[in-house]
Structure 1
């Protein structure tokens, strides 16, 4: 079942239905973008989501992340007065505090979301950067986010910084708990953000690097590795969620039935009309492929320029013996003096591809080179097979 995928138009319909149901706002529209992080624009009644193919994991795992991300955005629509940009420290910290607040309020209504939230937390942690790759004061903000949201950080920070991060996280939890207990909203939390900024000793307008949950070449995650992340998250979140079974969160049985129904309905829609097999067509199982990532026009054009020498060019000869060369006689007796030698490749070419894990880290570049070679051979009218 997991080899099948839902079309983007089907996903938009599912997302629109779910976000309207969860948020109780029938004016919300949903769209996908691979350029920006998942976000909600309250003034436009719009939710922008990261596409499934850009997320980490197999298709079912990506569907679960998509579904939980959508739930969070629906809760923001329902409970947030405003959503600031994550580009600067002030907005990033406010949105982080709000995530914890709306999560608690949403779980009181939708009690079956706990396992999915824990599962999603694991992938969020996987996608966050290692702290040594974040520079300057932005490292402190990233460490605060990781410690506040996951109870753990990826990498190391100086002990003096860690004390600030720990103090800011504890303060953040206290004010979120107070906001929940007393029914305060976004505007009350917004007034408290400057205190966290003072504790962290950062500028409220400093730029925060965006961390996207996008798939990177070679970024594979086995079930054993994922289970380790789930175990850590389950333990760190026990105070908020109670005891959660990491294996149950990994399996996703409570969502899988829904997922199967959607796939079956999607398949029925695809099978309307003449069956592809009867007219000799083969449709790939994967439909949501973005070929622009591997179609490198610059590489193709450069290869065409180089490979043109196979079709025409000058031939230089070097002889070790023979009569003395009379250049005047050669020039007078050979007209035109320069001649174009047309060449052709009459043999058939077979391209063998390596599908092993050894090229996983260079998979995108590997596909670019293969596609460029195929384009050039076709341009040269050379018969080939892959």
Structure 2
């Protein structure tokens, strides 16, 4: 039977109006089915996301479900995502490190892209149909964090050790982050099994579930071990850092610490300083005195993408131990004295160690 030319033309016109081609009907028959709504699909996205993604994007995914609860995935336009971005920017809560809602705008686009990336992977929509990927993310501005000066670091340590309800814990936190340049998530995840007191090492679990051993001074290693045992850590899997009640600390301990420091040192509050500034402080010092390759290893960036040169300048654990020894003016079991790490060498005397305060001066554990 020959198709009616007029009917075919009318059908093509209807398909064009709907934005559908004959090829779409042939290769994607499932698109004729009704897609799940934003609210219906969200639990699947959350279940497939890792803890970091849930923590970062969860709030924005909830806002998407609230803004478009009954709308199918394929009915959201780029302008809808853009409008949600502007709403989030306008309603962002001012914080110490806020940039007039810029971070909120960046995160809502990233969250929407992650949401639609999952829908693409599930075969619900075509890769070119994601509205989130057609909205530009705000350009990230240069960070305002910097390395603390020696005087600033001394002041921070002095105030932390003379105020608060747990000076020994605060001293350990500042010392740990100054020596290792680790992020606070890595410190919170530390367990007894992650501490190697014999070799002066601590095992850090950081972003992307990367795991690495980081040198620490034997003095800090011993104090961390004593602190954990004195506060009830008995099994290998028990958390290392604990409050006076014997409970593992959370990120709130850091929030309270820097809030207290900001109340007593106005410049801390004005600049919105946090634990991450200690990471900048240590890594800047290491780079200035030991070079980019060792600073990169010290930061745990050895496996991250970089220029081809990084293939040839990889530093090992002994190089990092050398830098730590010079920075703290304390010997380390893995440091090579012949490699300028000994406290008696001329190189070491030129290195102007970072102010690392003795933990024992804080009193009882």
TM class, shorter-chain normalised? under 0.3
Considering Cα pairs closer than 8 Å and 6+ residues apart, tell me whether 1 or 2 has the greater RCO: 1
Q: Could you tell me the TM-score, scaled by structure 1's length?
A: 0.22
Q: Could you tell me the TM-score, scaled by structure 2's length?
A: 0.23
